[in-house]
Chain A
Amino acid sequence: MPAPERPALERPAPSAVELDRRAFRRRQGGRSIAVSIGSTIVFAVLIGVGLVNSPGWADVQRSFFDLETAVEAFPSVIEGLWLNIQVLFFAAIGVAVLGSLLAIARTLRGPIFTPLRFAAAIYTDLFRGIPLLLVLYLVGFGLPGLDLFGRVPAQVWGTIALILTYSAYVSEVLRAGIEAVHPSQRLASRSLGLGYAKTLRLVVLPQAVRRVTPALMNDFVSMQKDVGLISVLGAVDAIRAAQIEVAASYNFTPYVLAGILFIALSWPMIRLTDWYTARAQRREQIGGSV
């Protein structure tokens, strides 16, 4: 029987040297915070002063930053944004499913899967090559032209186009992650009696996703913006709503408003993933200060 682990010992009072080091770190920490706050303020003031004193500032302010127009446009733009969120929601699910399937198809081994592997490779090459705008036009105006589907709202076609394009990108990111998981992990899992699918789902994919989370988040945030492109199909999303308001008020403020709302939409997601990756890293990896 191996000896039980040592019990936690009482930590002795720090020595004078350690106390001195701590005091030094505290002073330095305080100083660097002060420096960063100071420099940020100076920088912001400089930009602000520069803007406000430029000759055309009054005009720009009137046509881009008009509070009254913003308040007026707010309800319809936010209503449009709700459509963006819905499209984003379904597109994200679609991309996760289709992207994973494509990535798995590309990593399958064995001759039986050659056609599948090949088809997945062609798909990803194709859809990473075509501009999203073109896919939107082809899907949004082409597929309804077949007269097979009855009347389908524009945003549905937009969602499908987003899924088609983004799953190609996401599958490549996931594939890189899957291939980065060491083969000995599969070996260990199979040795326990887990089959191919369970090994993939429980051992390989979780590790793969963790490795590529930053890249996946990048794609997600990018898609979050591109959701605005569904307006070209006539769906009344935030961009389209802003456009309508602009046409009515001869003022560009609604565009700025839509922009701010899009930023507000993506910000929590960015922070959330940063937090999540940091936490996973803290828990699963050996600590260290470098």
Chain B
Amino acid sequence: MSEQQAAPVLRIDGVHKWFGDTPVLRGIDIEVAQHEVVVLIGASGSGKSTLLKTINLLEPVDDGRIFLGETDITDPRVDADRIRGRIGVVFQHYNLFPHMHVLDNVTLASRKVFGVKRAVAEQRGRELLERIGLADKARDYPDRLSGGQQQRVAIARAIATDPEVLLLDEITSALDPQLVGEVLDLVRELKAGGSTMLMATHEMSFARRVADRVIFLKDGRIVESGTPQQIFDAPREPETREFLARLQDPLA
């Protein structure tokens, strides 16, 4: 059991990414262990979203490798759709499918990627909706829900197929402050349930509460990583200190 936990679920190994002549990721190394929650912080444009996209094979890497479990997913011979099926993703703007009701949104991947029977998938989907407190919205269409509810459905959709790792990209930045809480509560509950997560966020208070490890990215490089206490209360690098100071007082 302990050996299994030692093997990382996700291993990012020297990843580089360029957009044209601009380097966006410059040698990123990250390991995410099972049940671990790793939070990426960093200024806008530091490469957080790009990193998450390379993991989900939405952007090809220009160098380095990414392993999901034992599989090198940057190998061009892998079946990208299979890999994406093993990874859950939640976007900033939810991206629910507006022409399907909530339950169909949540069960689509089970039914159409994994071939689960509709009745079975819906049973599981309803349990999930129950868990996120939206059981009564199963037959509603996404546009009828509040932003916070939509984002919770998007999370349910991402975890419906038990992905090995969950990628969350600023999932609260499109939400009103009141709605942020309900989404963050759900993420904490997922953490308690043992989900492995890699997320980008601007919510430092949340990062502090939920992260096992915080990674500070600047200009496509990892400047510093450590426990939340270490990063937020005793940052070692001057760049980290500057970034955090700016967050305290944006006009500084």
CA gap between A191 and B163 in the complex, in Å: 11
The answer on a CB contact under 8 Å between B108 and A202 is yes
Q: Which of B177-219 contact A (CB under 8 A)?
A: 182, 185-186, 189
The answer on a CB contact under 8 Å between A188 and B95 is yes
Q: Which of A164-189 contact B (CB under 8 A)?
A: 184-185, 187-189
Q: Which chain B residue lies CB-closest to A205?
A: B99
CA gap between A81 and B81 in the complex, in Å: 50
Q: 1/0 per residue A176-216: CB within 8 Å of B? A: 00000000110111111111001000110011001000000
B112 on the A face (CB < 8 A)? yes
The answer on a CB contact under 8 Å between B95 and A193 is no
The answer on a CB contact under 8 Å between A185 and B186 is no
The answer on a CB contact under 8 Å between A195 and B95 is no
The answer on a CB contact under 8 Å between B132 and A2 is yes
A5 on the B face (CB < 8 A)? yes
The answer on a CB contact under 8 Å between B85 and A2 is no
CA gap between A244 and B231 in the complex, in Å: 91
Task: State which of B58, B81, B91, B136 has its C-beta within 8 Å of the C-beta of A193.
Answer: B81
Q: Which of B99-118 contact A (CB under 8 A)?
A: 99, 108-109, 112-113
Q: A202-B112, A284-B141 are in contact. Are A191 and B133 (CB under 8 A)?
A: no
Report chain A residues within 8 Å CB of B186. Answer: 2
Q: Which of A246-290 contact B (CB under 8 A)?
A: 283-286
Q: A2-B152, A192-B84, A198-B112 are in contact. Are A187 and B133 (CB under 8 A)?
A: no
Q: A1-B185, A188-B97 are in contact. Are A195 and B152 (CB under 8 A)?
A: no
Query: In the complex, how many angstroms separate the beta carbon of B87 from the nearest chain A beta carbon?
Result: 8
A4 on the B face (CB < 8 A)? yes
CA gap between A3 and B186 in the complex, in Å: 10
Report chain B residues within 8 Å CB of A4. Answer: 133
Q: Which of B87, B97, B133 has the most CB of A within 10 A?
A: B97
Report chain B residues within 8 Å CB of A285. Answer: 141, 143
Q: How large is the interface on B (under 10, 10 to 19, 20 to 34, 35 or more residues)?
A: 35 or more
Query: In the complex, how many angstroms separate the beta carbon of B130 from the nearest chain A beta carbon?
Result: 9
Q: Which chain B residue lies CB-closest to A210?
A: B99
The answer on a CB contact under 8 Å between B85 and A284 is no
CA gap between A210 and B157 in the complex, in Å: 23
The answer on a CB contact under 8 Å between B144 and A191 is no
Q: Which of B138-154 contact A (CB under 8 A)?
A: 141, 143-144, 152
Q: Which chain A residue lies CB-closest to B110?
A: A192
Q: A194-B113, A284-B141 are in contact. Are A184 and B82 (CB under 8 A)?
A: no
**Please, how many residues of chain A have a CB less than 8 angstroms from a CB on the other chain?**
26
Task: State which of B91, B99, B134, B152 has its C-beta within 8 Å of the C-beta of A188.
Answer: B91
CA gap between A206 and B133 in the complex, in Å: 29
Query: In the complex, how many angstroms separate the beta carbon of B42 from the nearest chain A beta carbon?
Result: 22
B165 on the A face (CB < 8 A)? no
CA gap between A141 and B82 in the complex, in Å: 52
Task: State which of A184, A192, A195, A207 has its C-beta within 8 Å of the C-beta of B108.
Answer: A192
CA gap between A86 and B157 in the complex, in Å: 44
B89 on the A face (CB < 8 A)? yes
CA gap between A14 and B49 in the complex, in Å: 51
Report chain A residues within 8 Å CB of B108. Answer: 192, 194, 202
The answer on a CB contact under 8 Å between A1 and B189 is yes
Q: Which of B86, B98, B131 has the most CB of A within 10 A?
A: B98
The answer on a CB contact under 8 Å between B141 and A193 is no
Report chain A residues within 8 Å CB of B86. Answer: 193
The answer on a CB contact under 8 Å between A185 and B97 is yes
CA gap between A185 and B96 in the complex, in Å: 8
CA gap between A264 and B85 in the complex, in Å: 50
Report chain A residues within 8 Å CB of B189. Answer: 1
Report chain B residues within 8 Å CB of A184. Answer: 91, 93, 95
Query: In the complex, how many angstroms separate the beta carbon of A275 from the nearest chain B beta carbon?
Result: 18
The answer on a CB contact under 8 Å between B133 and A5 is yes
Query: In the complex, how many angstroms separate the beta carbon of B137 from the nearest chain A beta carbon?
Result: 8
The answer on a CB contact under 8 Å between B84 and A283 is no
B56 on the A face (CB < 8 A)? yes
Report chain A residues within 8 Å CB of B87. Answer: 191
* Interface set of B (CB-CB < 8 Å, partner A): 56, 58, 81-87, 89, 91, 93, 95-99, 108-109, 112-113, 131-134, 136-137, 141, 143-144, 152, 157, 161, 182, 185-186, 189
In the complex, 22 of the A-B residue pairs with CB atoms within 8 angstroms, ordered by the A residue number, are A2-B185, A5-B133, A5-B136, A5-B137, A184-B95, A187-B58, A188-B91, A191-B87, A191-B89, A192-B113, A193-B84, A193-B85, A194-B108, A194-B112, A195-B81, A198-B112, A202-B108, A203-B97, A206-B99, A210-B99, A283-B141, A284-B98
* Interface set of A (CB-CB < 8 Å, partner B): 1-5, 184-185, 187-195, 198, 202-203, 206-207, 210, 283-286
Known: A3-B133, A5-B133. 7 other contacts (CB 8 A): A1-B185, A5-B136, A188-B91, A191-B87, A192-B109, A210-B99, A286-B144
Closest 5 CB pairs of A and B: A193-B85, A188-B95, A192-B109, A191-B89, A193-B113
